[in-house]
Amino acid sequence: MSHNLVHAFFVGRAVAEALYEQLEQAFTNTVSELGKFDAEQRERMREFTEQAIERANRSEEVAVRGRTTTAIVPLGSQPTDLQATIDELRAEIAQLRSELQRYRTRSV
């Protein structure tokens, strides 16, 4: 009977060692997969960030190139009120229209 007890002990020990090895392997694989997943997510986030910055830079360049109006202010002059400038331009346009109308009536 002692032989059977000793044999059972060694069988139990072998089963426990085999289970421990399988658990260790499963844990190692899980940690490895988590590491891969984390690295892939970081790479995707880096690529996404680069794409977003690249798009922002392109949009900024298009916006800067799209500006066609520039204000030329003589040196030493003070900037004027925008509404006042618009009013002055409208007055000049009205004056030019009236001059053009007078020219047309004289030519006919």
What is the value of pTM for the model shown?
Answer: 0.45
Q: How far is CA 42 from CA 34, 37, 38, 45, 78, in A?
A: 12, 9, 6, 5, 53
What is the C-alpha to C-alpha distance for residues 7 and 48, in angstroms, rounded to an integer? Answer: 61
What is the reported pLDDT for 85? 86
> pLDDT value at position 73?
56
For residues 24-47, give the mean pLDDT: 94
Rounded mean pLDDT of the chain? 86
Q: What is the pLDDT of residues 20-31, one digit of tens each?
A: 999 999 999 999
* ∠ CA 94-86-59, rounded to 5°: 130
Which of the residue ranges 22-26, 35-39, 74-78 would you say has the lowest mean pLDDT? 74-78
82 Cβ contact list (under 8 Å, min separation 6): none
CB 73 within 8 A of CB 79: yes
Q: Can you give the pLDDT at residue 7?
A: 93
